Amino acid sequence: MPIYEFECEGCGAVFEELVAARATVVACPECGSERTRRLMSALSPPGRMPRGAGVRSDESRRREREAARQDRMGESRKRRAAGEKP
Ligand SMILES: [Zn+2]
């Protein structure tokens, strides 16, 4: 059986379910709502990407976090320089 990705319209949770191709209703594991829809996106979620791709995206996420941190530090330095309290 294929694994499909579903999105809950009730709470927005995205989850994967092993379902028969003709299964119609899959309840949300988060809130129990049956208002879920199958995502037709061809994109693989990060957890199922090939190992190499996953590592690369982790690395780029880490760099983004680092850059954001540097930005914040720069901002607070600027505020301090202007004599404002954080
Ligand atoms: Zn839900």
Find tokens 């954080």 and name the residue.
Answer: 86
- The CA distance from 55 to 46, in Å, is 10
Spacing, Cα 9 to ligand 1 middle (Å): 7
Spacing, Cα 17 to ligand 1 middle (Å): 13
Spacing, Cα 8 to ligand 1 middle (Å): 5
Spacing, Cα 27 to ligand 1 middle (Å): 8
Nearest Cα neighbor of 37 from 60, 4, 75, 67 is 4
Q: Which tokens go with 56?
A: 């690369």
Single pTM value for the model? 0.43
Nearest Cα neighbor of 15 from 33, 80, 1 is 33
pLDDT digits (tens, 9 = 90+) for 26-44: 899 999 999 999 887 545 5
pLDDT digits (tens, 9 = 90+) for 47-81: 555 555 555 677 788 888 888 888 887 877 777 77
Task: Tell how far CA 85 is from the center of its chain.
Answer: 35
